[in-house]
A and B are shown apart, each in its own frame.
Chain A
């Protein structure tokens, strides 16, 4: 590879990373402003202790994250069909759709025939924006002509559980003279999952049609899905813990902008340490603490 092509490749990677804002790790931090260090708090006058502070979170602007369909090889154990937020040359570009006794005979057959799973290999976690549709296209190339249908099913992992983001069918009349024929699809918004932090993602693609017996999904940037996303998780918390830096039994604070507060029962008389940490999705801040004295 020449130096110029390396630089171009790096630039493309950088641009893709920017476009894939949801994949960037969020950062959050927290401070405690009340009580002050070494402050004396009267238990008699304060049966409840006010704890407050500030927290910063990464921006959660709505946008989209593009996932390209990619494949490393053809017909080997290293095929590795996957989704990636970066595009490039795919070793598996031109892999024929598999039509056989196991996958299905081709043509207009049952939906389970000849599906290919494209699990995301990067871009996770993703803060999902369920108020907008998922748009994309699967480009088909091959000698076939006539109507082709593409079924797409988008599934994700949320909280360790499988969830369906939605499915759709796109269709197009294939043009055997063109480089490829894009088959656009739109998956309707899934409002119930809006704001979910996706841990993993898979796009299952099934190609079928009365004349589809060969051909392949065009890769190298020709097939993709745009997932509506936030640039960082919208799930933000500040947790407070008394005398326990493992946060085994934390109390959640109330957030208001960059401020947070919570009232906790005043601890017993003596010296105590309050710990606080903030979380944004799967990102957790470094804990902060303050030590104070409870008096009679």
Chain B
């Protein structure tokens, strides 16, 4: 249903090609995909352009030009990230064990993501988003970069998961997480629904070509789910190997095996911070935060820069994939994030420690 929906929206946008803002469409919605390294130009995974601007085809491995704009929705000024490991302890979640590792996390992926989110707050990488803001009563309120952005971790083995879960089921799990954590400030909260090796979301399993996506619950699209929840579909990206970042930064079988987890979850987290409304337009009101006129968010514009699927690192491209040092002193591979301020205001991918010499 998702692909036909995208085509429908694309058609609608083309029909109203003379309009000047996203508000021209009464309502539009689409999950915002992170294509894998081989599908960056796959039209089925591109967001419909905002309006009027020809869609540019971005070559794989290079930043997408043109700065982002503010579309009027809220941003996450003081973000809190809630990690939900749905069904990781459920029978059949993994097909292997590793001595000395928990049976519910035999590859260490959950631990890696948890450590990363614990340590990303306050880094220069997370600080890229502090140039973006929301406007409230005429005042610009800027995104902050607090040292602790991990709201909580929940290993949910109570509510059963199954393979090929739907987006609606992920949204329902996000709603359960809202209740589990007792979250009241949804504007600043986001929920990463991480799936174990053998129970993943249907589109990811089908080979649609993406690693993850994020979205925002609205009654029209997630019936029965509380509105206003920002959540991420985070599949077990190691299943997609190098296409979703395995060994894309760190060489060596084990040294780089989990690279994709922090690259992909970092992409989705930062996109959600700057665009928690996921570009939704509801009854003419744009809920989106920051993205460009091709509807690319800060993560999309810098995804897989400097990387060719399956070719070993290191990237030597400014703004390419790289390790950052977390607040715990450990190294975490990430992609860079679009910075309007970089390159003297022209904009470039930044924050991964390999920025262009000119930064704004």
Contacts and interface: CB of A to CB of B under 8 A. Distances in A.
| A-B interaction | yes
A102 B310 contact: yes
B245 to A, nearest CB: 16
A117 B253 contact: yes
A200 B311 contact: no
B101 interface: yes
**Interface on chain B toward A: helix, strand, loop, or mixed SS?**
loop
Interface string B12-40: 00000000000000000000000000000
Interface in B240-272: 250-255, 257
Question: For chain B, which range describes its interface: under 10, 10 to 19, 20 to 34, or 35 or more residues?
Answer: 10 to 19
B98 A157 contact: yes
A202 B99 CA distance: 15
B253 A102 contact: no
A75 interface: no
A164 B252 contact: yes
B101 A160 contact: yes
**Interface on chain A toward B: helix, strand, loop, or mixed SS?**
strand
B183 interface: no
B89 interface: no
B186 interface: no
Interface residues of A, number: 22
A239 B311 CA distance: 47
B255 A155 contact: yes
A199 interface: yes
A282 B253 contact: no
Interface in A209-252: none
Given A197-B100, A199-B99, A199-B101, A162 B312 contact: no
A117 B310 CA distance: 13
Contact of B252 (A102, A155, A282): A155
Given A102-B310, A102-B311, A112-B311, A162 B100 contact: no
Contacts of B250: 162
Interface of B: 98-101, 108, 111, 250-255, 257, 309-312
The 7 closest A-B pairs by CB, nearest first: A162-B254, A202-B253, A125-B99, A162-B255, A112-B312, A199-B100, A282-B99
